[in-house]
A and B are shown apart, each in its own frame.
Chain A
């Protein structure tokens, strides 16, 4: 059986190696040259000094927004989703929004009919996160609002609210940045279209950019961030830049509103300063918010205690009684 696997695994290895080889993608220098010529400039970033750090936010502060979902119960529809979104300012108490969803007591949701379980969950979470972001702009009026994930995704999943957020952010002069650690976009290949080398077609940005930028460099993509999960026009007004902010090769994406590109450019050094060289490459503040927003199993267990045993029974699963 092992030998059967081994054979197939070796074949897979060969195919993938060839598909992602320098021969297909182009060598490093070649890729850099092509990117700067067709996509946008590659800029070198630096860590800000004490004085610059003191004035970079213009005294207005920083807010990070992240959400979490915990599910109690295992099988559809016997589960409850606990949603929580948090907007955490550098100073002061975080703003927290919560929601609860159980498919057995379906509520009105603005979802495409036939949407799957997973989609419902993601849409609800996105809505809650954008709501938290909106409230945070009102309450804290920060200079910088960091969101966890591509802005395009919020645009798609919570269209009306995201539109409100865009307007409010522009009015408050709050810079909105979405940070993406797992880039699943084809922005570069899409922008190049017919011009793209054959090896780049259909490839994710992260593969084209693997080991292309030096630590501390950012690729400022000049065109709109199309080529996301969908081709909706939402992405037309969003830009994505790619930053090599960790020492391991592999970029992170930074989404921004088209109108805010010049300001974002100014804050790039700051975002770089906030990113640990050893980590996943996104600003540390989002790590902290992520940690703060997450509910622990103990907290969920404590909340579930509020349910009657006869109700709680619905969510129990034989799986939980497994020995191993």
Chain B
């Protein structure tokens, strides 16, 4: 390998006759006077001057070279020239001298570039692309840390592990995970969460897809790979069932946000809530106040009732009150006010992952409430600490969510948006961090996006999203061009911590999503089990009858009914025909009437 052509302080062309280069591979320029600069391959090409393509001249058919090779063992590939564009990681004081030899680096030479954490205290997320040749010199504690899943096959670690040190978030807070569907984004988020559980970092997870459970083991999980009992490190809470909002602790602003999330509030309704809500109101006291007022207004002249009301409430129009009542009821029926968030707080305090599930509209409302509550507690504690006062302890925590553009959308408001924005801007001071995954980074609030100091970019196809990513990361033109073609599970991690973009293969997850089963397989299985159930039912009947003809179907219906199974003659015939199709029954015509008997398959 050597440097050829025009060089400069940042970039050189390297050629080799023997081996093709790999994109993202690290190479060392063997020049002591420049301090052995390191570079990363950013573009690769191979060329054979005998296999040039000139559309005007036609091409040499493969059979001709084959004739040559078969008769003389000549190998045309010996004329291959491999070309790489190598971008230096640090510019050199003068351009690299053409002709300088280039070699593969040793692990120690690039260690400081690749490994910025300890695999035991950091999040081991995957392996760095094109580093497998560095494995030889790698210390033992970096070896065999991960497995990879490639085209459905489990592979051992292949390269230097990528370690993300959560401690570094103190300086460079918040993580974004971007990628289209099927890009491996949700699976990447899962791996992040597994690592957070490994490190027992308190994490609040908003799970609109009902998929962030960690008890299922992947089908092909290698022996010993699942080294943590994840079952003990996370808890799932259903909004309205396991957790809810403690109405008494709601501020008027929170209540307005809640009702608004239930269904948009008009200005009149907002004013009405402001007028009617009192501190320490319970659900009951507030809802009966609204109800009483409605009754008063509908009842016409009931001065007694009206007199009890504050002056500003007397002018509230009935329609606003009804609107509030309807929204309040909707939240109540969803169970939002029957529980509180104490169990979630307990989970966070225990260093667990608290996963909240619910329909997205309610999750949004609840997220605003629960995140706001926890964030305030943490902030109060830290602020008190700064002021040298005492306040009840609340641990630092991470808020992680998929479909983040629903919670902090660009251009319009959402219940959780303001709290997410606040954490994005101030969270680092208090040790509260975000992990936001979305397939539409272009729709995520810009203030929030700008604060994500580490961004994992999976396959992205939409031009507007690619444009956003290009703006918000240090991805190069070539890397951005590769985005639509990344394999599932491959990602660029652009992080202020590393100072440049790292190409990563996300490791195999140690847990799997409960939705791993394909819904169409599920349909098929349901059909199968229903037909085999029917077979178990009908087989003894057939054995008794020997042959069942059309006229006897009604008797069979009666027999089955006696055993508690209801069939119409038509339904029975349909099921029998289905069994005939599978060869379990044989359908014949005898004296102009069709009849069924057991088929050869059934008798085997």
Contacts and interface: CB of A to CB of B under 8 A. Distances in A.
A172 interface: no
Contacts of B57: 278-279
B67 interface: yes
Contact of B50 (A48, A89, A288): A288
A271 to B, nearest CB: 10
B524 interface: no
B59 interface: yes
A90 B74 contact: yes
A91 B61 contact: no
Contacts of B64: 273-276, 284
B71 A270 contact: yes
A56 interface: yes
Interface string A274-305: 11111100001101100100000000000000
B70 A53 contact: yes
Contacts of B65: 284
A291 B48 CA distance: 12
B562 interface: no
Contacts, number: 56
B354 to A, nearest CB: 67
Contacts of A189: none
A50 interface: yes
B71 A276 contact: no
Nearest to B73: A91
A277 B70 CA distance: 18
B63 A279 contact: no
A188 interface: no
A181 to B, nearest CB: 14
A274 B64 CA distance: 5
B72 interface: yes
Contact of A284 (B58, B60, B73): B60
A295 to B, nearest CB: 15
28 contacts: A47-B63, A47-B67, A48-B67, A53-B66, A53-B71, A54-B71, A57-B71, A57-B72, A62-B71, A62-B72, A90-B68, A90-B73, A273-B67, A274-B64, A274-B67, A276-B58, A276-B60, A276-B61, A278-B58, A278-B60, A279-B58, A284-B64, A284-B65, A284-B68, A285-B68, A287-B50, A288-B50, A291-B50
A62 B70 CA distance: 12
Contacts of B61: 276-278
B49 interface: yes
B56 to A, nearest CB: 11
B332 to A, nearest CB: 80
Of the listed residues B57, B65, B70, B71, the one surrounded by the most CB atoms of chain A closer than 10 A to its CB is B71
A61 interface: yes
A29 B65 CA distance: 34
Interface in A43-95: 47-48, 50, 53-54, 56-57, 61-62, 89-91
Contacts of A275: 64
Given A279-B58, A291-B49, A291-B50, A274 B70 contact: no
A130 B49 CA distance: 27
B24 to A, nearest CB: 32
Contacts of A270: 67, 71
B70 A61 contact: no
Chain B's interface: helix, strand, loop or mixed, by majority? helix
Contact of A91 (B58, B59, B72): B72
A91 B74 contact: yes
A54 B50 contact: no
B402 to A, nearest CB: 55
Interface in A170-229: none
B15 to A, nearest CB: 15
A61 B70 CA distance: 11
Nearest to B65: A284
A50 B68 CA distance: 11
The interface size bin for chain A is 20 to 34
Given A47-B63, A288-B50, A291-B49, A274 B74 contact: no
A50 to B, nearest CB: 6
B4 to A, nearest CB: 12
Interface string B26-66: 00000000000000000000000110000001111101111
A53 B67 contact: yes
Interface of B: 49-50, 57-61, 63-68, 70-74
Contacts of A53: 66-67, 70-71
A50 B63 CA distance: 10
Interface in A254-280: 270, 273-279
Nearest to B67: A273
Contacts of B72: 57, 61-62, 89-91
Contacts of B60: 276, 278-279, 284
Nearest to B58: A278
Contacts of A279: 57-58, 60
Nearest to A246: B58
A288 B58 CA distance: 16
Nearest to B72: A90
Given A47-B63, A274-B68, A285-B68, 6 more contacts: A56-B71, A90-B74, A270-B67, A276-B64, A279-B58, A284-B60
Contacts of B49: 291
Contacts of A56: 71
A41 B7 CA distance: 62
A19 B68 CA distance: 41
B518 to A, nearest CB: 45
B111 to A, nearest CB: 40
Of the listed residues B60, B61, B65, B67, the one surrounded by the most CB atoms of chain A closer than 10 A to its CB is B67
A284 B58 CA distance: 14
A50 B70 contact: yes
Which A-B residue pairs are the 7 nearest by beta carbons? A90-B72, A278-B58, A53-B70, A273-B67, A90-B74, A276-B60, A53-B71
A285 B68 CA distance: 8
A287 B60 CA distance: 11
A288 B64 CA distance: 12
A277 B59 CA distance: 9
B70 A54 contact: yes
Nearest to B74: A90
Contacts of B67: 47-48, 53, 270, 273-274
A270 B72 CA distance: 12
A114 B57 CA distance: 41
A53 B66 CA distance: 9
A290 to B, nearest CB: 11
Contacts of A291: 49-50
Contacts of B73: 90-91
Nearest to B66: A53
A89 B74 CA distance: 9
A273 B64 CA distance: 6
B417 to A, nearest CB: 64
Contacts of A287: 50
A56 B72 CA distance: 10
B102 to A, nearest CB: 21
Contacts of A62: 71-72
Contacts of B70: 50, 53-54
Interface string A123-165: 0000000000000000000000000000000000000000000
A50 B59 CA distance: 22
A204 to B, nearest CB: 25
A305 B591 CA distance: 108
